[in-house]
A and B are shown apart, each in its own frame.
Chain A
């Protein structure tokens, strides 16, 4: 026979399990800053290349942005748990980064870097990575970013050089700077809520 006190205790145990599972799943890593950082890096590379040092601008800026991302991410990430979701997301973006880096370096060195094709490849690959992330996370806002990147890729192939450049600049602004800032605000809000609603068992 289970009496009232036992029943109450059993219910407490059940809700403790539910709360802790929800708490564990709530573990979000903060990635908004990387979008903003890479958006700024693209703009720096574009301006630097425009000012006349195209051969150095892209590889140097991308390598520096890559190093900053790795250093900051390893500092921020230490202490957080490893989850399948986290590894999936990291896999998408690392694979995309390596592919893009390989393409950029080879296109530059081989002399086959036509502006239309280069922008289209970068935009479509960024669209692919954003779409994959958004489908994993079921996040419509990020899927909208993927659509913007894909559109920029299409405009780059069919439009003039000027249209291609504008499409790229607009996509960077919307999908890196605006989306990254939006993500950072959402992450800060989530962190505040997490801190405010934090209550847990303190004894065995």
Chain B
């Protein structure tokens, strides 16, 4: 019997998964854009982004645009790899669920 893969707990959180999926489609995105797309609150979004940043899945940069502070996030290579592995594991688990 083949062993079922484990899902990466950092990515598995709904909001973190949504954020990584969103970031996988763009080169970089601003905090407010991510907040609007996920309908999350500032505090929750900040906390989840910090977890992803600590895991090395996203990189954060603060800059000023027209004298307004902006927080920009981009997905790292390791984040992209982790999301790909997560999706593969998810599909494998779903496949096992259908078979079993």
Interface residues of A (CB under 8 A from B): 1-2, 6-7, 10-11, 13-14, 16-17, 20-21, 23-25, 27, 74, 78-84, 87, 198-204
Count of B residues near A, CB < 8 Å?
40
Contacts of A11 in B (CB 8 A): 94
Choose from B40, B90, B96 the contact partner of A13 (Cβ within 8 Å): B90
Choose from B16, B27, B65, B90 the contact partner of A81 (Cβ within 8 Å): B27
What are 23 A-B pairs at a CB distance below 8 A?
A: A2-B93, A2-B94, A2-B97, A13-B14, A14-B87, A14-B91, A16-B18, A17-B21, A20-B38, A23-B22, A24-B21, A25-B25, A74-B66, A79-B33, A81-B28, A82-B26, A84-B27, A200-B18, A201-B40, A202-B15, A202-B44, A203-B15, A204-B15
Decide yes or no: A21 and B25 within 8 Å by CB, A7-B97, A74-B66, A79-B32 being known contacts: yes
Interchain CB contact under 8 A, A204 and B16: yes
Contacts of A79 in B (CB 8 A): 30, 32-33, 70
Write the chain B residue with the least CB distance to A80. Answer: B33
Cβ distance A10 to chain B, nearest Cβ, rounded Å: 5
Interface residues of B (CB under 8 A from A): 4, 12-18, 21-30, 32-33, 37-41, 44, 47-48, 65-66, 68, 70, 87, 90-91, 93-94, 96-97, 100
Decide yes or no: A202 and B40 within 8 Å by CB, A13-B12, A25-B25, A80-B30 being known contacts: yes
Choose from A2, A27, A202 the contact partner of B96 (Cβ within 8 Å): A2
Choose from B24, B38, B41, B68 the contact partner of A21 (Cβ within 8 Å): B24
Write the chain B residue with the least CB distance to A2. Answer: B97
Contacts of B15 in A (CB 8 A): 201-204
Q: Whole-angstrom distance between the alpha carbons of A21 and B80 in the complex?
A: 13
Contacts of B33 in A (CB 8 A): 79-81
Q: Whole-angstrom distance between the alpha carbons of A83 and B12 in the complex?
A: 25
Choose from B22, B65, B66, B87 the contact partner of A24 (Cβ within 8 Å): B22
Interchain CB contact under 8 A, B97 and A10: yes
Q: Whole-angstrom distance between the alpha carbons of A15 and B39 in the complex?
A: 17
Contacts of A83 in B (CB 8 A): 25-27
Cβ distance B19 to chain A, nearest Cβ, rounded Å: 8
Decide yes or no: A204 and B25 within 8 Å by CB, A13-B90, A79-B33 being known contacts: no
Interchain CB contact under 8 A, B21 and A20: yes
